C-alpha cells in the first residue's frame, strides 16, 4: 500500500525502455496495454513538426520523445495531457542514464552478465507461457508448439525480444547501484518506524473504530490490509455437527418464511391486490408460527442429542474442547492449526458469520474466556461454540507491518535522494524547459482529449419535463 505513494517517478525511471512488465504480460494484458496507449490523449506531432520541449546542454528532447513515455504515465494513473510532467520525466530519464554511465554503474562482471542473461531468459519464457496458457484451446504438444510460435511472433511484432529484456535487466541493476550510492547504508530507525506506524495507523483507526461492517467488508471480504483492529472481537472455536439433511432443510425453510412474515408485519410494503381488479389472486401459503419454527429447531437438536450429550459429558469429565472438535466436528476450518489455536474473529456486530453462530458466541452462557455455549441450530448444522480468547485490539505493530513500513521508508529515502540528485544534476548539465512549446503541446493534447470525450458521449442533454413512454403490450 505505502509503496504506491512513490510509484510514479521511480516506476518510470525503472521502466526506461518500458519492458519491465513483459514477464508479467498475459494475453489479456498485452492488448490492454496497447489500448491504453491508443486511448491516451496524446496529440502526435507531424514528422515535420517535432518541436524541442527541453534541452540538456547540446542534447535536444523533442516532443516525439516525450510522447513516447506518456502511455506509461497514463497506465500509472497520471494525466496524459500533462506535458510538463512528461517532459521533466523524459529529461530525468536522459540525465539518469548519463550519470549511471558516467559513474560506471553500467559496467558489470562476467558473472553478473551471466545472471542477467538467465533472468532475461526466465522473463521471456514466462511471457511466452502466459500467452500460451491463455490462448491454448487444445492441450497437445503440437498445439502448444504452435501457440508458442504465435506468442513469439506477437511479442516480436510489438518490439519485444530477449535482448531488450536483457537490456532492461541491466538498466534495473544500474538503477539499484545508483540508489545504493545515493542513500549509503541508510536503515530506518525505530523512531521513524513508530512515527510512520502511528501516522498511517490513525487513518485505519478513524475508518474502522466504530464501523465493524466496513472493517470486515474491506479487510476480510476485500482482502485489504489494516493495522487497526476494533475492540470487542472474540476468538471463537466450535464443534459443527451435521444433522439429518431433511430436518435441517425443513427448519431453514420454516425459519425463512417466518422471518419474511415478521418483516412484512413490521411495515415492509405489500402489493395492493385491489389496485388491479383483473389480477388473478395468488394463493398464500399457510402462515408459519413461531411454535412451528421452534418445533423444527428442536427436531434438529433431537436428531443429534446423543452426540451433544456425549460432548458435554466428556467436557465435564475434563476432556479438551479441541480434542472433541477432531472427533465430532465437521468444519474444515477447524482443521487449520491457526484457526484452532486462535479461533475465528467474531464481533457482536459481525456481518461475516451466520447470525446464529454470532449470537451463540455472545450468549448468556458465553461471558468469559473458556465458556461453552448450548447447542444452536444454524444454516450449516448444529454449533457448540467455545470462547477461546479475546482478540487483541487497537494498533498492533506486527512483524509484517514493521517490514512494510521499513520497505516504505527505504523507498521514500531512495525516492527523495533520487529526486534531489536529478534536480542537482539537471542544473549542472544545463537542463532548460521550453515552456512555450510545452504549453502548446499541452493545449493541443487537451483539445484532442475533449474531442474524444465528446465523440464518446454524444448525448449532451436531456429535454426538460417527463418523457412519455409508449405502453407495452403483454
CATH for 429: 1.10.4030
pLDDT confidence of 268, banded at 50, 70, 90? low
Could you tell me if 414 and 332 lie in one domain?
Answer: no
Any domain includes 210: no
Could you tell me if 359 and 427 lie in one domain?
Answer: no
pLDDT at 30 over 80: no
Q: Is 92 within 8 Å of 108 (Cβ atoms)?
A: no
Q: Are strands 376-378 and 59-62 parallel, antiparallel or unpaired?
A: unpaired
**318-351 residue pLDDT tens:** 999 999 999 999 999 999 999 999 999 999 999 9
pLDDT at 62 over 60: yes
How far CA 256 is from CA of 260, 358, 383, 395, in Å, comes to 6, 18, 19, 40
Residue 61: φ, ψ to 5°: -105, 110
Could you tell me if 111 and 237 lie in one domain?
Answer: no
* Rounded average pLDDT over 77-94: 92
Could you tell me if 30 and 173 lie in one domain?
Answer: yes
- Residue 59: the pLDDT is 95
pLDDT confidence of 75, banded at 50, 70, 90? confident
Range of the domain at 326: 232-263+290-392
Q: Is 12 within 8 Å of 69 (Cβ atoms)?
A: yes
Could you tell me if 338 and 420 lie in one domain?
Answer: no
- Residue 46: the pLDDT is 46
Tell me which of 21-35, 274-288, 401-415, 436-450 is least confident: 21-35
**192-208 residue pLDDT tens:** 999 999 999 999 999 99
Return the DSSP state at 136. Answer: -
Please, what's the largest Cα pairwise distance for the chain?
93
Of residues 159 and 44, the one with the higher pLDDT is 159
Any domain includes 284: no
- Residue 269: the pLDDT is 54
pLDDT at 77 over 90: no
Could you tell me if 448 and 323 lie in one domain?
Answer: no
Last residue of a domain, one of 392, 410, 435: 392
Could you tell me if 385 and 407 lie in one domain?
Answer: no
- Residue 470: the pLDDT is 35
Of residues 470 and 112, the one with the higher pLDDT is 112
Any domain includes 203: no
* Rounded average pLDDT over 278-289: 64
Determine the Cα–Cα distance for residues 150 and 345; give it in Å rounded to an integer.
Answer: 50
Could you tell me if 106 and 131 lie in one domain?
Answer: yes
Q: Is 235 within 8 Å of 343 (Cβ atoms)?
A: yes
Determine the Cα–Cα distance for residues 361 and 355; give it in Å rounded to an integer.
Answer: 10
Any domain includes 430: yes
pLDDT confidence of 246, banded at 50, 70, 90? very high
- Residue 277: the pLDDT is 54
Cβ contacts of residue 401 below 8 Å, gap of 6+?
Answer: 197, 227
Helix (H) or strand (E) holding 183: helix 162-183
pLDDT confidence of 138, banded at 50, 70, 90? confident
Residues in the chain: 474
pLDDT confidence of 43, banded at 50, 70, 90? very low
Any domain includes 113: yes
pLDDT confidence of 284, banded at 50, 70, 90? low
C-alpha cell at 29: 494484458
Could you tell me if 384 and 425 lie in one domain?
Answer: no
Could you tell me if 27 and 154 lie in one domain?
Answer: yes
Any domain includes 167: yes
- Residue 264: the pLDDT is 81
* Rounded average pLDDT over 296-307: 97
DSSP one-letter string for 255-286: HHHHHHHHHHHTT-----GGG-TTSPPPPPPP
- Residue 6: the pLDDT is 40
pLDDT at 126 over 70: yes
Looking at the 3D structure of the chain, how many domains does it have? Answer: 2
Could you tell me if 329 and 359 lie in one domain?
Answer: yes
* Rounded average pLDDT over 41-52: 61
C-alpha cell at 128: 511466452
Any domain includes 129: yes
Last residue of a domain, one of 392, 424, 441: 392
Provide the CATH number for the domain around residue 363.
Answer: 3.10.50.40
pTM of the full structure: 0.64
Could you tell me if 386 and 411 lie in one domain?
Answer: no
The string over 156-171, giving b where at least 16 C-beta atoms fall within 10 Å of a residue's C-beta and e elsewhere, is eeeebbeebbbbbbbb
Amino acid at each position: 500500500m505505502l509503496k504506491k505513494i512513490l510509484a510514479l517517478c521511480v516506476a518510470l525511471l525503472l521502466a526506461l525502455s518500458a519492458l519491465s512488465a513483459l514477464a508479467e504480460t498475459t494475453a489479456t494484458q498485452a492488448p490492454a496495454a496497447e489500448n491504453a496507449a491508443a486511448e491516451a490523449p496524446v496529440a502526435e506531432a507531424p514528422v515535420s513538426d517535432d518541436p524541442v520541449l527541453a534541452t540538456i546542454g547540446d542534447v535536444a528532447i523533442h516532443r516525439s520523445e516525450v510522447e513516447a513515455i506518456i502511455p506509461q504515465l497514463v497506465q500509472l494513473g497520471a494525466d496524459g495531457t500533462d506535458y510538463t510532467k512528461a517532459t521533466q520525466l523524459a529529461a530525468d530519464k536522459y540525465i539518469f542514464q548519463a550519470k549511471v554511465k558516467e559513474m560506471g554503474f553500467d559496467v558489470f562482471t562476467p558473472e553478473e552478465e551471466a545472471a542477467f542473461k538467465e533472468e532475461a531468459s526466465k522473463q521471456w519464457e514466462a511471457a511466452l507461457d502466459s500467452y500460451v496458457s491463455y490462448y491454448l484451446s487444445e492441450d497437445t504438444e503440437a498445439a502448444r508448439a504452435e501457440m508458442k510460435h504465435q506468442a513469439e511472433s506477437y511479442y516480436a511484432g510489438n518490439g519485444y525480444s530477449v535482448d531488450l529484456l536483457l537490456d532492461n535487466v541491466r538498466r534495473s541493476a544500474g538503477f539499484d547501484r545508483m540508489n545504493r550510492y545515493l542513500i549509503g547504508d541508510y536503515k530506518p530507525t525505530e523512531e521513524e518506524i513508530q512515527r510512520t506506524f502511528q501516522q498511517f495507523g490513525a487513518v485505519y483507526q478513524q475508518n474502522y473504530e466504530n464501523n465493524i461492517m466496513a472493517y470486515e467488508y474491506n479487510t476480510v471480504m476485500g482482502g485489504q490490509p489494516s493495522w487497526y483492529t476494533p475492540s470487542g472481537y472474540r476468538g471463537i472455536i466450535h464443534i459443527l455437527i451435521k444433522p439429518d439433511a431433511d430436518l435441517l432443510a425443513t427448519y431453514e425453510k420454516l425459519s425463512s418464511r417466518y422471518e419474511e412474515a415478521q418483516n412484512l408485519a413490521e411495515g415492509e410494503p405489500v402489493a395492493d391486490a385491489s389496485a388491479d381488479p383483473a389480477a388473478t389472486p395468488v394463493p398464500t401459503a399457510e402462515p408459519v408460527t413461531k411454535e412451528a419454527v421452534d418445533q423444527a429447531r428442536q427436531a434438529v437438536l433431537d436428531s443429534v442429542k446423543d452426540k451433544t450429550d456425549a460432548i458435554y459429558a466428556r467436557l465435564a469429565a475434563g476432556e479438551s474442547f479441541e480434542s472433541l472438535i477432531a472427533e465430532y466436528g465437521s468444519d474444515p476450518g477447524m482443521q487449520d492449526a491457526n484457526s484452532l489455536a486462535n479461533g475465528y474473529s467474531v464481533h457482536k456486530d459481525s456481518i461475516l458469520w451466520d447470525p446464529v453462530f454470532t449470537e451463540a458466541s455472545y450468549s448468556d452462557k458465553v461471558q468469559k474466556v473458556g465458556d461453552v455455549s448450548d447447542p444452536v441450530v444454524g444454516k450449516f448444522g448444529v454449533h457448540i461454540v467455545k470462547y477461546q480468547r479475546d482478540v487483541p485490539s487497537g494498533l498492533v505493530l506486527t512483524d509484517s507491518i514493521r517490514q512494510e513500513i521499513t520497505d516504505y521508508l527505504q523507498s521514500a529515502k531512495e525516492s527523495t535522494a533520487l529526486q534531489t540528485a536529478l534536480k542537482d544534476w539537471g542544473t549542472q548539465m544545463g537542463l532548460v524547459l521550453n515552456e512555450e512549446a510545452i504549453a502548446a503541446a499541452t493545449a493541443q493534447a487537451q483539445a484532442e482529449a475533449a474531442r474524444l470525450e465528446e465523440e464518446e458521449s454524444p448525448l449532451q442533454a436531456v429535454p426538460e419535463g417527463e418523457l412519455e413512454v409508449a405502453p407495452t403490450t403483454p
